[in-house]
Each structure stands twice: as C-alpha cells, then as structure tokens.
C-alpha cells in the first residue's frame, strides 16, 4: 500500500522529504511532481524499480529513461557535454527539457540506448523536486507517469494514490502539476534535434 505525503509547494517540509528519500534508498518506487508533470522515480541502480516502471507503463527495452539531476555537476557525471552543447543546455536549464546525450561510463548499461549508448538527462525547475534531489544527493532515475492507452499524464496526487495504490511505494504531492511532458532535445550528434515538443519552448533549438 502506497504511502501518501502532501508537502508545501514552496517550502516542502524537510522531515517529509527525508522520509521519501529514505524510501528511495531502501529500494522504493515513488510518484512525484516535476515542472512538467508527475513522474515515476527510483534510485539509478535499482533494477527492480526499473522493472516496475516498465511494467506500470508497459515499456519495451528501447525506452529512454531519464536521469533527473539537481545541477550540472551531477549531469556531468553521467553525460558527455562539449562546450557548444554545454552553453545551449545551460541557457535552457533548469526547466522542462530532457536532453539526450552520449552516456559516460557511470551510466548502467540497462539505462543506455542499446545502439547509440546515449542517456536522457534533465535539471527540473521545481522546488519540491529540487529538495528531493538535494536530500538524496544523486540523480533520480525517472519516467513520465503516463499510463498505457492514456494520452495525457496523471495530474492529481490523490488520483495517483488511488490508481497506483499497490504499484508504487510512495506518492509525493505538492498540488497542481502540469499535463505536458518535457520537450526532448537530442544532442548526441552534436546538433540539436527536436525529438518531442512538450512543455519547454523549442524556439532556441530551431
């Protein structure tokens, strides 16, 4: 049965954030808000968590998971970023963008694209997500909370609690959340390629 935590959107209670990160470190799978929409998240090395996300969303092994990072220091551990790409990403973050980049050796093989050896990374502009990442001290492996055969991600924490009661361990809620997933930009070739148009403005990459 999933635990439900409701935190203040601008001043999330440290004790609650600590309880959620304890669950993540213990192998838990969480549903949490971001600056685009709700997401599913677990620790990077949590194989069971990855399997549970695939099962909930009915994903195949070609799906690009995202490493949600607190800052560029974390992002740089997992993705190779040259100077030109760095400037482009820096200008757009934090924000509702996911960037596909060449993965470093720190990225577990099951998180990389099987042929391209790439990984999705992002730095969200969301107070609660940032508090969670700061307490965790490492990126959160994530995927948009978009259920099979549904066109839009789930937006209400209480509804997520009801529908995923026995599928996730924690639901973290902080009020209204968006319905549009991140804009996805592929920089793996060195040039910006818009893979998905979402919450982030694509004008700067066109």
Nearest alpha-carbon partner for 205 in 121, 100, 126, 131? 100
C-beta of residue 104 within 8 angstroms of C-beta of residue 78: yes
C-beta of residue 99 within 8 angstroms of C-beta of residue 197: no
Q: How many Cβ atoms are within 10 Å of 190's Cβ, its own excluded? A: 9
Domain 3-205 is in which class? alpha beta
pLDDT value of position 163: 95
pLDDT value of position 114: 67
Name the phi and psi angles at 186, rounded to 5.
-95, 115
Give me the tens of pLDDT residue by residue for the chain, a chain 206 residues long.
Answer: 999 999 999 999 999 999 999 999 999 999 999 999 999 999 999 999 999 999 999 998 778 789 999 999 999 999 999 888 999 999 999 999 999 999 998 887 777 776 778 999 999 999 999 999 999 999 999 999 999 988 888 889 999 999 999 999 999 999 988 888 999 999 999 899 999 999 999 998 98
Nearest alpha-carbon partner for 93 in 106, 110, 78, 74? 74
The string over 103-136, giving b where at least 16 C-beta atoms fall within 10 Å of a residue's C-beta and e elsewhere, is beeebbeebbbeeeebbbbbbbbbbbbbbbbebb
Q: How many Cβ atoms are within 10 Å of 25's Cβ, its own excluded? A: 13
pLDDT value of position 197: 94
Tell whether omega for the bond before 63 is within 30 degrees of 0, i.e. cis.
no
pLDDT value of position 28: 98
Count of alpha carbons within 13 angstroms of residue 4, beta-carbon side: 14
């Amino acid at each position: 049965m999933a635990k439900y935590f409701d935190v203040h959107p601008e001043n999330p209670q440290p004790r609650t954030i600590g309880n959620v990160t304890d669950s993540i470190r213990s192998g838990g799978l969480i549903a949490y808000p971001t600056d685009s929409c709700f997401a599913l998240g677990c620790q990077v090395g949590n194989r069971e968590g990855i399997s549970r996300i695939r099962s909930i969303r009915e994903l195949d092994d070609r799906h690009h998971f995202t490493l949600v990072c607190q800052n560029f220091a974390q992002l740089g551990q997992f993705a190779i970023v040259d100077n030109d790409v760095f400037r482009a990403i820096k200008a757009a973050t934090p924000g509702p963008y996911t960037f596909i980049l060449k993965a470093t050796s720190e990225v577990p093989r099951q998180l990389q694209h099987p042929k391209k050896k790439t990984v999705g990374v992002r730095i969200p502009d969301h107070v609660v997500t940032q508090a969670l990442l700061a307490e965790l001290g490492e990126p959160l492996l994530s995927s948009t909370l978009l259920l099979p055969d549904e066109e839009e991600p789930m937006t209400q924490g209480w509804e997520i609690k009801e529908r995923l009661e026995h599928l996730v361990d924690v639901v973290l809620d902080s009020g209204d959340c968006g319905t549009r997933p991140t804009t996805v930009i592929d920089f793996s070739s060195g040039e910006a390629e818009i893979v998905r148009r979402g919450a982030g403005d694509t004008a700067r990459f066109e």
